Amino acid sequence: MKEIKDRQDVSVVVRGFYERVREDETLGPIFNSIISDWEEHLEKLTDFWTMQLFGGREYSGNPIMAHQLVDRQSNREISAFHFGTWLNLWFATIDTGFIGDNAALLKHRARKMQTPIMIAIYEGRNKI
């Protein structure tokens, strides 16, 4: 077990997490059908989570719009169950290899952003 100290450590978390996601019976079919360039996705998400921990401006994107798009591409079937599964896999991945304040912060930030993204998905369904 080690502390998360830099972008490389965040990359280990992100890559390990998406290995689990791709194999998961609930999330795998969604992610595997939508993401065509996994390396690009992994780098982008590493930028995002690195920014969440250490600041900076490497990440560019709109997580709310991205999740609304995924919901549309998934026939509007994204639910709280999907988010719960995602969060459990995120926590398990972090807990497998990391300890300390930054590991706790990554879990806290994921938990904190889960609800606003879910709400935005549901609100986005009403706008079409």
pLDDT (0 to 100) of residue 128: 54
Mean pLDDT of 33-60: 94
- What CA–CA distance (Å, rounded) separates 103 from 53? 9
**Average predicted confidence (pLDDT) for the chain:** 95
> Domain residues for 53?
7-126
Domain count, the chain: 1
Whether 1 maps to a domain, the answer reads: no
In a domain, 79, yes or no: yes
pLDDT digits (tens, 9 = 90+) for 3-14: 999 999 999 999
Domain membership flag for residue 38: yes
Give CA–CA dist 119/128, Å, rounded: 15
Q: Does a structural domain hold residue 2? A: no
The model's pTM is 0.93
For range 49-72, the mean pLDDT = 92
Q: Say what percent of the chain tops pLDDT 70.
A: 99
Q: What is the CATH number of the domain that holds 77?
A: 1.10.490.10
Mean pLDDT of 32-60: 94
